[in-house]
Amino acid sequence: MKAKQTSESIELGILLAISGGMMDAYSYIMRGEVFANAQTGNMLLFGVYLSEGKFAQALHYFCPILAFTLGILLSDMVRIKFGKKLHWRQTAVVIESIILFGVGWISLRNNLLANSLTSLACGIQVEAFRKIHGKGIATTMCIGNLRSATQNMCDFINKRNKKNLYAGLLYFGIITCFVTGAVIGNRCITIFAEKTIWISACILLAAFILMFIDREEQKKGEDEA
């Protein structure tokens, strides 16, 4: 089964989910236990520290939330401004990669800035890539994917519809890729420290190249038809 758009292909989803898992592991383990993707966790901790009057600590969680929101806004602006030239999602993923390369140069003394920029990149990704094979699937977080996976598997058990089985396995597969990214990120941190985020950036560049390859194959198929 082929994706309707290159940006919805399974191969691309795998790369994005691995990168997403690495970003969250990196920001949490390497940059002071702040989430890059899981803004619900950041909102919770922001509220906790705010209630305790620990405003400096609260700021460390508020800024990534704000940056994530700005990333969503930036992604939509790219779609509006650059959609007619290079595919806007390719532009978005390049911007995301550049941001992450920049994060790798930021000192551990400036984790607030590093986490905010990482969350900015995550915001771009969550808005730009929202579907795989027509299914609403996130590559930067898992709770929605877990709900959809479980629902589809329950529907398959009840109705024996293979489409539900396929969808459930697809959701669980992306969750597995996200966890794999977290495992890789954790392992690499012991070797590359703050530069580990560059691996995530390189994965995103691979996704950018993959979108070019898939578009060429799609065009060739249309010409032959």
Q: How far apart are CA 137 and CA 216, in angstroms?
A: 25
The per-residue pLDDT for 211 is 86
Query: Which tokens in the block code for residue 76?
Result: 């939509």
Per the DSSP assignment, residues forming a β-bridge with 136 are 131
pLDDT tens readout for residues 145-163:
999 999 999 999 999 999 9
Handedness of CA 80, 81, 85, 90 (dihedral sign): negative
The per-residue pLDDT for 140 is 87
User: Tokens 């940059």 — which residue?
Assistant: 31
Would you identify the CATH topology of the domain 8-224?
Answer: Growth Hormone; Chain: A; (1.20.1250)
The series of mean pLDDT values per 10 residues for the chain, 225 residues long, is: 62 94 96 92 96 96 97 92 73 95 96 97 93 85 92 95 94 96 96 96 94 60 47
The per-residue pLDDT for 133 is 78
Per the DSSP assignment, residues forming a β-bridge with 25 are none
* pTM to 2 decimal places: 0.89
The per-residue pLDDT for 6 is 59
Query: Which tokens in the block code for residue 46?
Result: 């922001």
| Stretch (H or E) spanning 136 | strand 135-136
Question: Which residue from 209, 193, 206, 186 is spatially nearest to 21, judged by alpha carbons?
Answer: 186
pLDDT tens readout for residues 50-96:
999 999 999 999 999 999 999 999 999 988 887 655 678 889 999 99
Q: How far apart are CA 61 and CA 45, in angstroms?
A: 7
